[in-house]
Amino acid sequence: MPLLHISMRAGKPEAYRQAILDGLYCAMREALNVPEGDEFMTISELSPANFRCGNAYGVKRSDDAVLIQITVFASRTPEQKKALYRRIAELLGDNPGIRPEDIFVNVLDAPAENWSVGNGVAQFA
């Protein structure tokens, strides 16, 4: 049950944004065994004045940087997360053509009782 928030500079065409969503969904299906149809993702497009990425940690980022925050059940292993990072970089590199240096991923672990996927019910608690 991942929940994704993607932040990027405004101005990319719809096909570019859809390729990001499709690539992330594919990477999660492969690396985290996310079920089919489990797609809860948003993209926020920000003006240059409201979006800043530095070049810390020896990574030279461009204006095409994408910040991806993924909240998941606190059950994923470090190996699964590493596989996810690699697969995201591969898929988003292929389409829409984002450089690996411009892909910033943060995975947040949340206990199952912190989720309600509808109807006011804690389905996983």
Would you state the torsion angle of the CA atoms of residues 100, 10, 107, 121, taken in this order, to the nearest 10 degrees? -150
Distance CA 74, CA 72 (A): 6
Beta bridge partners of 42: 5
Matching residue, tokens 């461009």: 62
- E strands, 1-125, where? 3-9, 41-46, 66-73, 103-110
In the residue annotation, 2 being an active-site residue is answered as yes
Question: Could you give the residue numbers annotated as active site?
Answer: 2
